[in-house]
Amino acid sequence: MQGNVYIVDDDREVRRSLSFLLGTTEMTSRPFGSGTDFLDALLDLKPGCILLDIRMPEVDGFHVMDELGKRGVEWPVIVMTGHGEVSVAVRAMKLGAVDFLEKPFDEEVLLGSLERAFGLLKDRGEAADRKQKAQDRVTALTAREKEVLQGLMAGMANKLLARRLDISLRTVEMHRANMMDRLGVRSLAEALTLAVQAGVEPLDPQR
């Protein structure tokens, strides 16, 4: 199991012990003594998994997770809590944590959690890559071609789309053909799949 692990904990001994443990694996660890230090370094970090302590002074784990969400960082977070802090763990899970560990935790439990987290990181990375490629292809469309695509997403037939866009049926068919060519797809199903991956919203048929 390879990858980057970011340890965010104000307890120096916790950071040292986790760094030592992870140093015996193929994972690369980097410790941070505060949530602020981690967030300040975020732009320079490669994707990885985050071991995040919840109880920290000034900037706690909840704030860190909230900030990750605002910045669109979808790296898996494993929160570390004190014994019996189930309500804290539940709140963290609602913010997007993929797992929680009660201190002190077993080495095998930690490594098992990280293995699952790295599986998620890989899946999310592939999904993000597909989305970016789909968005790049959709961006190549003209404004009218994109409107035709959005109409097709809404299930609108060519005739209805022509009335909605106030253009002729033949013009709709022309834009539809050009849209398919520009997207590099052979079927409507492929075009719609690409549009969904890119986050394109369908037209509102009622307008």
What residue segments make up the domains of the chain, in order of their start? 3-128, 140-198
Q: Are 83 and 103 in contact (CB under 8 A)?
A: yes
Q: Cα separation of 172 and 168, whole Å?
A: 6
**DSSP structural state of residue 60:** -
Q: Cα separation of 140 and 6, whole Å?
A: 38
Tell which CATH architecture fits domain 140-198.
Answer: Orthogonal Bundle (1.10)
Give whole-number Cα distances, 44 to 37, 117, 132, 171, 192, in Å.
Answer: 12, 21, 21, 48, 36
pLDDT higher for 103 or 43?
Answer: 43
Q: Cα separation of 152 and 171, whole Å?
A: 15
Q: How confident is the model over 59-63, as a mean pLDDT?
A: 92
How far the first Cα of the chain sits from its last, in Å, is 52
Structure tokens at 47: 């994707």
The class level of CATH for 3-128 reads alpha beta
Residue 65 reports pLDDT greater than 90: yes
Q: What tens digit of pLDDT does each residue of 136-179 get?
A: 999 999 999 999 999 999 989 999 999 999 999 999 999 999 99
Structure tokens at 172: 């709709």
Q: What tens digit of pLDDT does each residue of 81-104 get?
A: 876 677 888 888 888 899 988 888
Average model confidence (pLDDT) across the chain? 90
Structure tokens at 6: 């970011």
Alpha helices for the chain (secondary structure H)? 12-23, 35-41, 61-70, 86-94, 107-139, 143-153, 158-165, 169-183, 188-198
pLDDT higher for 68 or 106?
Answer: 68
